[in-house]
Amino acid sequence: SAVISQKPSRDICQRGTSLTIQCQVDSQVTMMFWYRQQPGQSLTLIATANQGSEATYESGFVIDKFPISRPNLTFSTLTVSNMSPEDSSIYLCSVPGGAGETQYFGPGTRLLVL
Amino acid sequence: QKEVEQNSGPLSVPEGAIASLNCTYSDRGSQSFFWYRQYSGKSPELIMSIYSNGDKEDGRFTAQLNKASQYVSLLIRDSQPSDSATYLCAVAPYSSASKIIFGSGTRLSIRP
């Protein structure tokens, strides 16, 4: 499985500010996924980040709020813009695994917005 | 109807017993099915994958798939306190092979 790191591991932010989360993978991957996990909830896919093209956002998520960059095959960033307390969540990146389309997850970024 | 449904629990099982976790899914064309374990404060960890009908065993874990009933389950034998976690069922729908749809998870508690 791929080794995935995320920065920062956690942060406390003021409402109205923005935070950029980085995801680094130890191998080249075509797709990277960004998820949100709100307290006590399951994972919700925010968007799929493809290298060389615009990210594909899921229903309920927009680029202005969650801009994504994918400058190369091992790195991606997710920005949470103009934050409110409702954005307090764990944000996870993942990459596809081997056969069968499984996914492997990074350690997550724990965000608290005050 | 949710695409992947699980009983949220908590499911409490005595140590040494068999824990049975269940999941149903709505997309009949789904091809790949996964069970993830998530400890509190940690990210999900893949523990089992299954692709064809029947049982698949890996150590104390057995995944069971019944595509006709759109049902997948996870059995944990000889449950240990370290098995206490949230278990997420995930399905890769045929319509979008790269996406995985997660259930809401079942909280499992193993009591000594």
| pLDDT of A80 | 98
Q: What is the pLDDT of residues B26-62, one digit of tens each?
A: 988 888 899 999 999 899 999 999 999 999 999 999 9
> Measuring CA to CA, how many Å separate B71 from each of A76, B96, B106?
35, 19, 15
Look up residue B72 and give its amino acid: V
Asked if B43 has any chain A CB less than 8 Å from its own CB, the reply is yes
How many CA atoms lie less than 13 Å away from B59 in the CB half-sphere?
5
Nearest beta carbon to residue A42 from set B49, B97, B104? B104
Q: How far apart are CA A82 and CA B19, in angstroms?
A: 44
Instruction: Report the 10 Å Cβ neighbour count for B94.
Output: 12
B-interface mutation test, from A29, A91, A102, most B Cβ less than 10 A away: A102
Q: What is the mean pLDDT of chain A?
A: 92
- Going by their DSSP bridges, the two strands A10-13 and A109-113 should be labelled as parallel
Contact B99 A48 (CB under 8 A): yes
How many CA atoms lie less than 13 Å away from B82 in the CB half-sphere?
2
Asked if B1 has any chain A CB less than 8 Å from its own CB, the reply is no
Contact A102 B45 (CB under 8 A): no
Q: Tokens 């809401």 correspond to what residue? A: B104
**Backbone dihedral region for residue B54 (phi beyond 0: left; psi -120 to 50: alpha; all else: beta):** left
First to last CA, chain B: 37
Contact B43 A105 (CB under 8 A): yes
Q: What is the pLDDT of residues A56-112, one digit of tens each?
A: 999 999 999 999 999 999 999 999 999 999 999 999 999 987 655 688 999 999 999
**Chain A: nearest CA to B44, how far in angstroms?**
7
Contact B100 A103 (CB under 8 A): yes
Of A2, A25, A5, A3, nearest to A98 (Cα)?
Answer: A2
Give percent of chain A above pLDDT 70: 96
| pLDDT of B99 | 78
Query: What residue of A is the nearest CA neighbor of B97?
Result: A101
First to last CA, chain A: 36
User: In chain B, positions 49-78, which contact chain A (CB-CB < 8 Å)?
Assistant: 49, 51
Q: How far apart are CA A67 and CA A62, in angstroms?
A: 8
Of B24, B42, B48, B51, nearest to B86 (Cα)?
Answer: B42
Q: What is the pLDDT of residues B53-97, one digit of tens each?
A: 999 999 999 999 999 999 999 999 999 999 999 999 999 876 555
Cβ-Cβ contacts under 8 Å, B31 against chain A: 100
Contact A108 B42 (CB under 8 A): yes
Comparison of pLDDT for B112 and A109, the residue scoring more: A109
| pLDDT of B94 | 65
Contact A41 B92 (CB under 8 A): no
Q: How confident is the model at residue B1 (pLDDT cuts 50, 70, 90)?
A: low
